[in-house]
């Protein structure tokens, strides 16, 4: 399926959602796609679980015979997540930061009154504007989460405030063995620079793995120029053999925005 929206059209849609305070529609699109991607009895990973907005439906999707791993380094969320999901035997919590190496101790900036922008490296947009606390965290790769799993890993959500690019670098064996669908919060140039990532090389690496990138609008991003051309929020990385998910993205996007646009 080949669709393409103009940049003015995409800007209009996003500006309309911002003006009407309906940007959470993007989270519902993500939820729709993850529900379709996760097979019962499989392994799913919620990287950057925060307060569990997506952990909950991912937990339900894997079912009692599957496993959901919620990864969240913020110490103030540990007790909350473990208590909130304690009734689910398929739930596992890891208080680490996803990265391209395991076992490294790093500084993690906790933005106390805005948890969602906490990160291994906080953007200059937020520095000094909020109450911050630096905590020590251990890193872990996605490959180390999946390597001993008897279950196939079908979906991985990454919302790591810029560290997504490095977390994917730590998933090479998972990509080869499991072929999961990725839902990635993707700020592109600014966070890539912050973490020292060559964004064009990162884009090209997906092609080498026989993956395609799809925007939250449902467009296949065939070139780097397509990729960086005003495609905000989430990018989906999809194995070429699972491209039927593109129809799910398009349907969800059209259905979710129809009442606002």
Number of domains in the chain: 1
pLDDT above 80: residue 130: no
Q: Is residue 121 part of a domain?
A: no
222-242 burial code (b ≥16 CB/10 A, e <16):
eeeeebebebbbbbbbbbeee
Q: Is residue 126 part of a domain?
A: no
Q: Is residue 118 part of a domain?
A: no
Q: Is residue 211 part of a domain?
A: yes
Per-residue pLDDT at 6: 83
Q: Is residue 102 part of a domain?
A: no
The share of the chain scoring above pLDDT 90, in percent, equals 69
Q: Which whole number is the average pLDDT over 63-88?
A: 93
Per the document, the length of the chain is: 261
**Where do we find the tokens 């398009």?**
250
Task: Give the least confident one: 9-13, 121-125, 131-135.
Answer: 121-125
Q: Is residue 225 part of a domain?
A: yes
Secondary structure E strands in the chain:
43-47, 67-71, 91-94, 97-98, 105-111, 132-140, 153-158, 181-185, 211-215, 234-239
Per-residue pLDDT at 203: 97
pLDDT above 70: residue 125: no
Per the structure block, which two tokens stand in for 134? 């630096």
Task: Sheet with 181-185: list strands edge to edge.
Answer: 91-94, 67-71, 43-47, 153-158, 181-185, 234-239, 211-215
Q: Which residue has the higher pLDDT, 78 or 261?
A: 78
Say which CATH number the domain at 200 has. Answer: 3.40.50.150
Cβ atoms of residues 256 and 11 within 8 Å: no
209, with CB counted inside 10 A (0-12, 13-18, 19+), is middle
User: Which of 31, 26, 49, 33 minimizes the C-alpha distance to 180?
Assistant: 33
Q: What is the pLDDT of residues 161-210, one digit of tens each?
A: 889 999 999 999 999 999 999 999 998 998 899 999 999 999 999 999 99
Q: Which residue has the higher pLDDT, 235 or 4?
A: 235
Residues 6 or more apart from 65 whose CB is under 8 A from it? 40, 41, 90
Q: Is residue 20 part of a domain?
A: yes
DSSP notation for 240-251: GGGTTHHHHHHH
Q: What is the pLDDT of residues 27-50, one digit of tens each?
A: 999 999 999 999 999 999 999 999
Q: Is residue 115 part of a domain?
A: no
Per the structure block, which two tokens stand in for 150? 């008897």
pLDDT above 70: residue 240: yes
Segments forming the whole domain that contains residue 253: 7-97+141-257
């Amino acid at each position: 399926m080949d669709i393409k929206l103009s940049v003015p059209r995409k800007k209009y849609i996003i500006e309309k959602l911002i003006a009407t305070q309906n940007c959470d529609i993007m989270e519902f699109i993500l939820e729709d796609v993850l529900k379709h991607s996760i097979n019962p009895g499989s392994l799913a990973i919620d990287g950057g679980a925060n307060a569990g907005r997506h952990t909950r439906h991912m937990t339900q999707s894997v079912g009692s015979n599957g496993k959901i791993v919620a990864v969240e380094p913020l110490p103030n969320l540990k007790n909350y997540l473990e208590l909130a999901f304690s009734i689910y035997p398929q739930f596992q919590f890891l208080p680490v930061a996803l990265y391209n190496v395991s076992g490294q101790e790093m500084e993690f900036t906790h933005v106390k009154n805005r948890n969602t922008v906490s990160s291994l490296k906080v953007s200059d947009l937020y520095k000094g504007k909020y109450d911050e606390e630096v905590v020590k965290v251990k890193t872990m790769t996605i490959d180390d989460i999946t390597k001993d799993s008897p279950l196939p890993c079908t979906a991985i959500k990454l919302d790591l405030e810029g560290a997504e690019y490095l977390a994917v670098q730590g998933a090479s064996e998972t990509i080869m063995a499991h072929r999961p669908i990725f839902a990635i919060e993707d700020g592109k140039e600014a966070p890539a620079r912050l973490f020292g990532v060559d964004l064009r090389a990162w884009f090209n690496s997906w092609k080498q793995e026989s993956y395609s990138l799809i925007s939250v609008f449902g467009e296949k991003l065939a070139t780097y120029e397509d990729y960086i051309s005003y495609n905000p929020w989430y990018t989906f990385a999809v194995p070429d053999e699972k491209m039927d998910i593109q129809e799910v993205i398009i349907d969800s996007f059209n259905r979710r925005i129809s009442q606002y646009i």
